[in-house]
Amino acid sequence: MSVDWSSLKGVLIDLDGVVYTGREPIPGAARFLGEARRRGLKFLLVTNNSTTSPEHVAERLGGMHVDVQPSEILTSAQAAVGYVRRRAQPGTHVRVVGEAGLRQAAEEEGLVVVDGDASAEWVIAGLDRAFNYEKLAAATRAILGGAHFVATNADALLPVEGGQMVPGAGTMIAAIKTATAVEPVVVGKPEPGLFEHGLQRMGGLAPDQAAMIGDRLDTDVDGGRRAGLRTILVLTGVTTRAEAAEANPPPDATLPDLASVTDLLWPK
């Protein structure tokens, strides 16, 4: 069935494998973002990475000659904190298992990040490359004491330069789950929280007014579909053309790259 792309009001765009690979921009990505701005299509660049701030992401992209504003970036840290903030009052005490990006997101939303033996009403956990027994014990005490448990994402492994894999946020989450026997609310892709937060950030769009553009069937396409968005798979990252052809159900569109999305949405 053909898709009417003319009604699209906004897009969520994955970063790694769509806008850049490693430290190199993908040709045509900057052109698409510029065309989206010119035509008034709302967009957010989204990432499951909770360790860094939107400002640092924008700075990194600027170094690749992809000019974006921090307000055009959505991290899983922001989505997780947004989930908490919608259910908690300003000044609520939270314990963060994570890095600077997650702590900054919590503080910017008016939450109080506690350390040491202080009590907390929420535990927000993400990738923490300084994760240790002390942090595990503190998170465990808080959750067993009644704190709510929220995770930025459940990615067990994280790809790094050179084709290597290292433990991801899901590894820390699994340790806390094992200690507490409590399942967290996971916000990042492919769970709906990040998509819902993105729709709100784009002015409260309805799911059928937006699309998810990504390079992975398991997180981007599956997550976007589950959240009610249209889905566009690009073949500049993880998923191969052969894998895309076997997808059931398939994405609403499969294209070579982000530049090709320009022609899909605004045919000449």
Q: Which of 163, 186, 209 is the last residue of a domain?
A: 186
Regarding whether 204 and 178 lie in a shared domain, the answer is no
pLDDT of residue 117: 85
Number of domains comprising the chain = 2
Assess whether the previous peptide bond of 190 is cis (omega < 30° from 0). yes
Number of neighbouring beta carbons within 10 Å of residue 185: 15
Residues 121 and 137 in one domain: yes
**For this structure, is 14 an active site residue?**
yes
Q: What is the pLDDT along the chain (268 residues), one digit of tens a residue?
A: 578 899 999 999 999 999 998 888 999 999 999 999 999 999 999 999 999 999 999 999 999 999 999 999 999 999 999 999 999 999 999 999 999 999 999 999 999 999 988 999 999 999 999 999 999 999 999 999 999 999 999 999 887 777 778 899 999 999 999 999 999 999 999 999 999 999 999 999 999 999 999 999 999 999 999 999 999 999 999 899 999 999 999 999 999 999 999 999 998 8
Distance CA 33, CA 176 (A): 39
Q: Give the sign of the dihedral formed by CA 190, CA 220, CA 249, CA 8.
A: positive
Tell me the backbone φ, ψ of residue 159, rounded to 5 degrees: -75, 140
Strand 157-160, strand 164-167: pairing: antiparallel
Shared-domain flag, residues 100 and 157:
yes
Helices of type H across the chain: 29-39, 54-63, 76-85, 100-108, 133-144, 169-180, 192-201, 222-226, 241-246, 258-265
* Domain-embedded: residue 69: no
pLDDT value for 1: 55
Catalytic, out of 4, 16, 117, 263: 16
Please tell me whether residues 175 and 196 are part of one structural domain: no
| 234: containing domain | 5-48+189-265
Residue 168 sits in the same domain as residue 115: yes
Of 4, 14, 117, 155, the active-site residue reads 14
Residue 52 backbone dihedrals phi, psi, to 5 degrees = -125, 160
∠ Cα 260 252 12 (to 5°): 65
Give domain status of residue 70, yes or no: no
Q: Nearest 5°: phi and psi at 245?
A: -65, -25
Is 16 catalytic? The answer is yes
The pTM of the full predicted model, rounded to 2 decimals, is 0.93
Select from 140, 156, 186 the last residue of a domain: 186
List CB contacts of 90: < 8 A, sequence separation 6 or more.
109, 110, 111
Residue 54: inside a domain, yes or no? no
Residue 182 and residue 224 in one domain = no
Tell me the sheet residues that pair with 24. 21
202 lies in the same domain as 230: yes
Is 230 in the same domain as 152? no
Closest CA to 130 of 150, 115, 141: 115
- Reported residue count of the chain is 268
Of 120, 155, 186, at which residue does a domain stop? 186
Q: What is the CATH number of the domain that holds 96?
A: 3.40.50.1000
